[in-house]
Structure formats: C-alpha cells, structure tokens
Amino acid sequence: MKIAIPVDEKSIESSVCISFGRTPYFLIYDMESKKSIFLDNSAAASQGGAGIKAAQTIVDNNVGALLTPRCGENAAAVIKAANVKIYKTINDSIIDNINALNEGKLALLDDIHAGFHNHGGK
Amino acid sequence: MKIAVLSGKGGTGKTLVAVNLAAAAKESIYIDCDVEEPNGYLFFKPRDIKSEKITIKIPIIDERLCKGCRKCVDFCKFNALAYINDKLIVFDEVCHSCGGCVLFCPEKALTEKEKIIGEVQRGVSDNVTVITGILNTGEASGIPIIKKLLSDTSAGKGLTFIDCPPGSACIVMESIKDADYCILVAEPTLFGVHNLNMVYNLVRLFDKPHGAILNKCLDGENPAEKFCIEKGIQILGKISFDNELGTLNSNALISVRENMKYRDMFSALLQTVTKEVRHETAINP
C-alpha cells in the first residue's frame, strides 16, 4: 500500500507539515518497497479550495492512506469518497509515523475541522 | 448621486451616519449593503415590504454524459470540483458561479441550477425608500446580493446612501464601485486610524472622491483628525461623543426624527456632503 504525508521539505528526515491543503510537498511512501516520492503540492498557492485540490492529487496517486495532523471537511469528503483512510499523526517525525502505522498504532483522524477560511475561496 | 458610507471596522458609526443623512434629506434612498448583518431597517422600520429572493447558479452534473476528462476540474481556479472514483463532486459553497465549467465541458454534461442565497427587501419609511440586502447564514459571498441592490438604483437620479459592510474586502469594493462619493467614518483612536487608513487606501485605489466624518469626538487629541490633516483628507464634519445621541441610537431611533438639535446637525452635514459631491462631479464628470 502507498501512503501520503504532507511534509515541509523534500526529505524523509524533514517534518510532517501542520497543514494538509497548503503543505508545500507530499511524501508518497510505498510501505512494501519502502520507496519515497516527493510531489509538489500545486494546491498550496490556490485562492481557495486548496484542500479539495490537494485531496484530488493524493487520490490520483492511488494511495491507500493519508497520515496528517489535521484535515478540513471538504478535503475529507474527497478523500473518503475515494475510500482512502485518514490517520492522525502522532508527532512531526515522518519516520515515527510510518513506523507507528506499520505497528498498527495510528488512530483514524476523527476531528475533521470545518475549515479556517469561512467556507473556502472567499 | 450615490454616496457610499464606509469604515475599516464595525461600530464606528457607518449606519448612524448613513441612516441620519438619508432621513435628513427631503427624499432619499437608503441601501443596506452590509448583507451579513444588515441593521438599517431596525432604525427605519420600513412598511409595505416587498421581498425578492436572490439566487446564484451552481453546476450540476449529468453522470450519464460525463466521460471524466476533468476539463472542468482543471479549469476551476476555486477548486470547487473534484473527480473521484469516476464521479464528479461539486462543492456548492466553494463555487463562485463563474459558469466556466459549463462552458468548457465538451460532453455538455454540466448544466446550472439556481440556489437561493438570500433576499432583497424594499420598503418605505416616510421620506426614505429603504432597500435591505440579506445574505443567508452560512453562504460564502454576499456579492450577488450587492450587485442586485445596486443595479436597481443605477438609473435613479435622487440622493442614494449606500451603507457598506465594514472593512475593505471584495464585498466593500462591490459596494463602492459605482458610488459618486465616499464618506469615511472614523473613530478618534489609534485603532481607528489604522482602520481609516485601510478604507482611505481603498478609495484612493478606486479613485473615488472622498471625505471623512469623525465620530465619537472627545476633547483633546484626535489621532483620526491628525491623520486626515496629514493626508489632506477633507473633514466633512465631527460628531461628538454624546450620551443622548448614543442612547437614541441604541434604542434604534433615528435621531434626526427625534430631536431638532440632531436634525440641524445632520442637515448641515448633508449640505456639506452634497456640496462636496456636486463639486467633485463637476470637476470629474
């Protein structure tokens, strides 16, 4: 299974990004082959609806799970429609979170927030 | 002539000024463009209200026709569309109703439906025609309502007062776009100066003739007045920090209709304002 994590820099040593929709990069990590790819998040500079566009990107990369500290409701609607599971990260270390997922220690993200921008692209 | 009343924050006295100037005129139109929280009608208590629902257009998909080319998804700069599991998802509240997705769809799978976002109410309060825009709670943008509010009066030749929303965002730009003159209402504090500067920059950007009314004036230093003098902003008038005026206003009474003192004050202010507007429209037709 491939997973996606919003990350601050193009390195597995960097940290998990606090924002899903406006993260600069996504790490696409293959749990079996242990290969990593870093994607530019084209949604980062969007006027509005960044979460929707970012969610479309990770769904298009055929991931099975998203690991993120938080996620807005529009993005969550897209991700859930694609049957991708959303897990809540435990800290800002990418490796810790991948290990925790492997060990079955990550919980599903259930506190989906209503967005911070008054209903998206205002 | 259309006169917009604006300020960088709420509570400076936009509605006080707009309502009382409209009431002091022989005949006028008062338009409440603060569609997220209109309150001018609370003072005017208009009668014979006629209401009109305002709708916007939102795309809907015919799944039988959609081939999943994603031209609509790529086009939408507000990211209101996503294509997931061979299905198009439309986020109504993110959509800005530009209609681009419908135009771009090569399969003609997208059409538009009407969605009610609020209403416009017109009524009468003695010498004032009162027009109020109301945006439904939870809707993203009041701009379609403001467009409707202002389109009705574009042909009007009388005196129109536009009570703007607070701030200097798109919704205010839409409200002052066609105004002949802008009145900036300011408070005598440093915070007031910051907010005055926001709307001052806005009216300059729009190249609108403007002047300031200094509200809640006290004895002593007035940072807003200092700012106006520094920037060369015409001071149209000063309203003192007055318990009686504040009490009338907080009881939703129109002070010019209650007390000759205030009628005289706002009539004089109105005269200054109309003289300024005439002067401006004469030199910048």
Q: Does B68 touch chain A (CB under 8 A)?
A: no
Amino acid occupying residue B280: E
Mean residue pLDDT of chain B comes to 94
The answer, yes or no, to whether residue A88 has pLDDT greater than 60, is yes
A110 pLDDT band (50/70/90 cuts)?
confident
Chain B residues with beta carbon closer than 8 angstroms to that of A55: 82
A120 pLDDT band (50/70/90 cuts)?
very low
The better pLDDT of the pair B94, B260 is held by B260
For residue A73, the distance in angstroms to the closest alpha carbon of chain B comes to 11
Give the chain B residue nearest A117 (alpha carbons).
B140
DSSP state letter for A45: T
The confidence score (pLDDT) of residue B153 equals 63
Over residues A42-46, the mean pLDDT reads 93
Residue B160's nearest CA partner among B263, B53, B33, B34 is B33
For residue A51, the distance in angstroms to the closest alpha carbon of chain B comes to 9
Q: Is B79 in Cβ contact with A53 (below 8 Å)?
A: yes
Give the chain A residue nearest B82 (alpha carbons).
A56
For residue B73, the distance in angstroms to the closest alpha carbon of chain A comes to 9
The answer to whether B6 and B200 have CB atoms below 8 angstroms apart is no
Select from 3.30.70.20, 3.40.309.10, 3.30.70.590, 3.30.1300.10 the CATH code of B63-108. 3.30.70.20
The answer, yes or no, to whether residue B187 has pLDDT greater than 60, is yes
The confidence score (pLDDT) of residue B264 equals 97
Q: Does B26 touch chain A (CB under 8 A)?
A: no
Select from 3.40.640.10, 1.10.150.20, 3.30.420.130, 3.40.50.2300 the CATH code of A2-102. 3.30.420.130
Same fold? B2-54+118-283, B63-108: no
Q: Is A48 in Cβ contact with B79 (below 8 Å)?
A: yes
B278 pLDDT band (50/70/90 cuts)?
confident
What number is the ipTM of this complex? 0.86
Q: Percent of chain B beyond pLDDT 70?
A: 98
Chain A residues with beta carbon closer than 8 angstroms to that of B79: 43, 46, 48-50, 52-53, 56, 120-121
B156 pLDDT band (50/70/90 cuts)?
low
Task: State which fold the B2-54+118-283 domain adopts.
Answer: Rossmann fold (3.40.50)
A116 pLDDT band (50/70/90 cuts)?
low
Amino acid occupying residue A100: A
Q: Burial-class residue A13 by CB neighbours within 10 Å (0-12, 13-18, 19+).
A: exposed
Domain definitions of chain B by residue range: 2-54+118-283, 63-108
Q: Distance between terminal CA atoms of chain A?
A: 37
Q: Is A43 in Cβ contact with B80 (below 8 Å)?
A: no
B245 pLDDT band (50/70/90 cuts)?
very high
Chain A residues with beta carbon closer than 8 angstroms to that of B85: 81-83
Instruction: Identify the weakest region by mean pLDDT among B35-44, B196-205, B270-279.
Output: B270-279
The answer to whether A45 and A24 have CB atoms below 8 angstroms apart is no
In chain A, DSSP assigns E strands to 2-7, 25-30, 36-40, 65-68, 85-88
The confidence score (pLDDT) of residue B154 equals 54
The confidence score (pLDDT) of residue A122 equals 35
**Cβ-based neighbours of B270, under 8 Å, separated by 6 or more:** B21, B24, B25
Q: Which of residues 102-161 of B touch A (CB under 8 A)?
A: 138-141
The answer to whether A19 and A25 have CB atoms below 8 angstroms apart is no
Per-residue H/E/C for B104-173: HCCCCCEEEEEEEEEEEEEEEECCEEEEEEEECCCCCCCHHHHHHHHHCCCCCCCEEEEECCCCCCHHHH
The answer to whether B220 and B247 have CB atoms below 8 angstroms apart is no
pLDDT in tens, B167-180: 999 999 999 999 99
The confidence score (pLDDT) of residue A117 equals 60
Domain definitions of chain A by residue range: 2-102
Q: Percent of chain B beyond pLDDT 90?
A: 91
Chain A residues within 8 Å of chain B (Cβ atoms) = 43, 46-50, 52-53, 55-56, 59, 74, 77-78, 81-83, 118-122
pLDDT in tens, B14-45: 999 999 999 999 999 999 999 999 999 999 99
Among A52, A59, A77, the residue with its CB nearest the CB of B79 is A52
For residue B40, the distance in angstroms to the closest alpha carbon of chain A comes to 25
